[in-house]
């Protein structure tokens, strides 16, 4: 598992030809192997659109996404995506859901033990034979995580995977997933509009703005894991991100005032 660099080069996207402002404008971003990157920005700035392009679920109008030597044109088991909802099959057990990626790739027989290990690792040791409908939301998201990791991905793409969870479960899973990605050298891209989540998990936070969707800044997070959210360096980084968003809002306001005058 692990070992992928991601290069996003001169990327533009228009969902339809009549759009005046591009959904994504001139995105250039390099994500080195094993780095945990958070894309953060307000609703509608194009975070999910960009993530879907890295996943190969959507092609950009212009520019490219490359993962190692490959230009991304379709999904692959090597770059796995995890969504806000765990999207499990309700009629299957925890084990069957977690094994799904391996079953699809025809490798379940050889890698059965791996599914067992992963379910243990994500805290579902005593739940493997249960139907997924018997699990809580947090437990279901853990099944989805085990399924994403079972195929030994180089890249894990997360689109607000913890936003539906209670604060305690969310914080615990954020820490676990960041730790797992670091341990296995998985390159992670996390989409979020939660500043706390970005600072808790990422090595680098990339700030996006909307209309057009673009990258306007970035911030490195050089804090060891597990991160203490009450310590001064953590709080300072959060405050810095808040202030960057305030600057974006002020710039937008003065732009609107100029247009109105
Ligand atoms: N399939 C689509 N067809 C047309 N426009 C779309 C489509 N998907 C998204 N958009 C538009 O593209 C823009 C970016 O959407 P996107 O979902 O990438 O934003 P986001 O940053 O992920 O927002 P959120 O934080 O609310 O999830 C929005 O203005 C949205 O309305
Ligand atoms: Mg989104």
Local confidence band at 165 (pLDDT 50, 70, 90 cut-offs): confident
Cα–ligand 2 centroid distance for 111 (angstroms): 33
Q: Could you read off the pLDDT of 24-67 as tens digits, one per residue? A: 999 999 999 999 999 999 999 999 999 999 999 999 999 999 99
For the whole model, what pTM was predicted?
Answer: 0.92
pLDDT exceeding 70 applies to what percent of the chain?
99
How far is ligand 1, taken at its centre, from the CA of residue 46, in Å?
A: 6
Contacts of 7 (CB under 8 A, 6+ apart): 29, 30, 31, 64, 65, 66, 67
Identify the pLDDT of residue 12. Answer: 98
Confidence grade of residue 164 (pLDDT, cut at 50, 70, 90): confident
Tokens of 82: 């995890």
pLDDT of residue 195: 95
> Is pLDDT of 1 > 80?
no
pLDDT of residue 43: 92
The more confidently predicted of residues 211 and 60 is 60
On the 0-12 / 13-18 / 19+ scale of CB atoms within 10 A, 27 is: buried
How much is the pLDDT for 2? Answer: 56
Question: What is the mean pLDDT of the segment spanning 6-22?
Answer: 95
Q: Is-contact 38 204, C-beta < 8 A? A: yes
Mean pLDDT across the chain: 93
Q: Does domain 6-78+153-260 have CATH number 3.40.50.300?
A: yes
| Interval 188-199 mean pLDDT | 96
pLDDT band, very low/low/confident/very high, at 251 (cuts 50, 70, 90): confident
CA 49, 178, 99, 109 torsion-angle sign: positive
Segments of the chain assigned E as strands: 6-13, 24-31, 36-40, 62-67, 70-71, 79-82, 155-159, 187-192, 204-209, 214-220
Residue 59 DSSP SS3: coil
- Atom 16, ligand 1: residue with shortest CA distance: 46
71-128, pLDDT tens digit by residue? 999 998 888 888 888 889 999 999 999 999 899 889 999 999 999 999 998 889 999 9
Q: To test the ligand 1 pocket, which listed residue (23, 38, 85, 207) has its Cβ within 8 A of the most ligand atoms?
A: 23
214 lines ligand 1 (CB under 6 A): no
CA distance to 21, 66, 144, per residue, from 201 (Å):
32, 24, 18
Terminus-to-terminus CA distance in the chain, angstroms? 56
> Residue 253 and residue 202: Cα distance in Å, rounded?
30
Atom of ligand 1 nearest to the CA of 46: 18
| 118-139 b/e (C-beta count within 10 Å ≥ 16 → b) | bbebbebeebbeebbeebeebb
* 126 alpha carbon – ligand 1 mean position (Å): 39
Ligand 2 mean position to 83 CA, how many Å? 10
Q: Does any ligand 1 atom lie closer than 6 A to the CB of residue 212? A: no
Tokens 């730790």, located at residue: 179
Domain spans in the chain, listed from the N-terminal domain onward: 6-78+153-260
Rounded Cα distance, 156 and 50, in Å? 14
Q: With 60 as the cut, is the pLDDT of residue 190 above it?
A: yes
Ligand 1 atom nearest to CA at 52: 18
List CB contacts of 139: < 8 A, sequence separation 6 or more: 123, 124, 127
Least confident of 5-14, 162-171, 195-204: 162-171
- 239 has a pLDDT exceeding 60: yes
**Nearest atom within ligand 1 for CA of residue 191:** 22
Rounded distance from Cα 261 to ligand 2 centre (Å): 34
Cα 120 to ligand 2 centre (Å): 30
Number of H helices, E strands in the chain: 7, 10
Ligand 1 atom nearest to CA at 15: 4
Say if residue 199's pLDDT is above 60: yes
Rounded Cα distance between 250 and 16, Å, is 29
Ligand nearest to the CA of 212: 1
* Cis check: omega of the bond before 185, within 30 degrees of 0: no
């Amino acid at each position: 598992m692990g070992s992928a660099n991601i290069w996003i080069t001169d990327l533009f996207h228009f969902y339809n030809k009549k759009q005046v402002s591009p959904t994504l404008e001139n995105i250039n971003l390099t994500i080195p192997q094993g780095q945990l990157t958070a894309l953060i920005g307000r609703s509608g700035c194009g975070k999910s659109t960009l993530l879907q392009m890295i996943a190969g679920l959507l092609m950009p109008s212009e520019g490219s996404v490359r993962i190692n030597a490959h230009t991304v044109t379709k999904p692959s088991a090597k770059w796995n995506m995890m969504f806000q909802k765990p999207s499990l099959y309700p009629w299957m057990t925890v084990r069957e859901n977690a094994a799904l990626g391996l079953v699809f790739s025809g490798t379940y027989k050889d890698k059965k033990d791996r599914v067992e290990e992963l379910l243990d690792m994500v805290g579902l040791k005593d739940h493997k034979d249960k139907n997924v409908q018997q699990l809580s939301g947090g437990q279901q998201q853990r099944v989805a995580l085990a399924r994403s990791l079972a195929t030994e991905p180089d890249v894990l793409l997360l689109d607000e995977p913890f936003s539906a969870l209670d604060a305690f479960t969310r914080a615990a899973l954020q820490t676990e997933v960041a730790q797992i990605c670091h341990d296995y050298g998985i390159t992670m891209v996390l989409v979020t509009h939660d500043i706390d989540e970005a600072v808790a998990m990422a090595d680098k936070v990339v700030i996006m703005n909307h209309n057009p969707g673009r990258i306007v800044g970035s911030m490195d997070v050089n804090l060891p894991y597990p991160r203490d959210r009450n310590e001064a360096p953590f709080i300072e980084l959060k405050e810095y991100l808040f202030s960057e968003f305030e600057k974006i809002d002020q710039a937008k306001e003065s732009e609107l005032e100029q247009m109105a005058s």
